[in-house]
Each structure stands twice: as structure tokens, then as C-alpha cells.
Structure 1
Amino acid sequence: MAPFTARAHGYGLVDWTADEVDAYASRLLRDHVAGRRWMPHRSSSCRACGESWPCPAATWAGQWSHGVTRAEPHSRY
């Protein structure tokens, strides 16, 4: 798989393969979790970075994993 330019949380623009970005996002999702059971309207923080939950790392990784931040090639047909 050829490298492409993507924005990775904590790194900025990177020239990684999609598999490398996927692995990085998976690592972030594994490591960045709520410090206690997360409930809406209740304050919680991330166990890994201590920021308010959901933290920016988990938000980025979740968006990448669900294809929100991933640019898909468009078909002409």
C-alpha cells in the first residue's frame, strides 16, 4: 500500500500508509479510555492523558476508524 498524506493526532501531517494510520488509531482507542464509566452530563477524564472525556486523541481515532476523516477515492462511474 502506498503512503499518502493524512493528519494524525499528535503528529500533524504524516506520509503513512492507510494500515499504519489504522494501527495508530487502534492504539489510541485502546489507550485513551474514560477514567470511569462515562455517562452523558457527568464529568470524566481520559485515563491516558487526563483531558476531559472524550479526549481529542480518542475523538480523532474514533473518527478515523469510522471513516469520517478518511478521504475515499471517488469513482467516475
Structure 2
Amino acid sequence: MAVDADAAARDAVERTLAAADEVLRQHVPDKGGTCWGCLELWGRLAPYPCPQATWAIAVRAKFGSGQGPAPPN
């Protein structure tokens, strides 16, 4: 028996993953370990990983496949 999740919930996960991917494209470390995205977007010197990159990494770790969290081992 297959149980499918709510389509709106799947769409929300997909949008969140897309946002996380965009954050990870923008917030990358420069040679000195400063977040390039924070410097370019806000003129802020922040060490990498900045809070935005940390959020995006956590989202990808939890929902990387787009299917939701993995079951506990």
C-alpha cells in the first residue's frame, strides 16, 4: 500500500529546497574564509558558514532528496 503526501506539502518542500539551493549558490567561502554572499548582498563580513549557509546545509541534510527526513535507524 502506498500513501502519498499532500501535494501542497510536496510543493512546499520543493520550494524550500530551491531556496536552499539558491542560498548555497550565493553564500560560498572566499579564500580567507569569509562568506562571499554576505559580503556581496549586504556588505557584511561573516565567517563561512554564515547563518544563511548553515540553514541551507541543514535543509539539504534533512530534505535533500525532496522526500522528507529519513526514517530513524
TM-score when scaled to structure 1? Answer: 0.58
Gaps of 5+ in 2: 1-6, 39-44
Shift of 1:2: 1.0
Pairwise CA RMSD of aligned residues?
A: 2.5
Q: Percent identity?
A: 29
Give the counterpart of 2:28 among 29, 33, 42. 33
Higher helix fraction (1 or 2): 2
Query: What number of residue pairs does the alignment pair up?
Result: 55
Higher relative contact order at CA 8 Å, sep ≥6: structure 1 or structure 2? 2
Q: Would you identify which runs of 4 or more consecutive aligned residues in structure 1 move more than 6 Å?
A: none
In the alignment, is residue 23 of structure 1 matched against residue 45 of structure 2? no
Larger gyration radius, structure 1 or structure 2? 2
Give 1:44 shift: 1.8
Aligned pairs for 1:1-77 (under 5 A) are: 1-3=7-9, 17-36=12-31, 44-49=33-38, 50-67=45-62, 72=69
Q: CA deviation at 1:73?
A: 8.9
Structure 1 residues 2 and 53: CA distance shift in structure 2, 3 A: same
Q: Which has the higher strand share?
A: 1
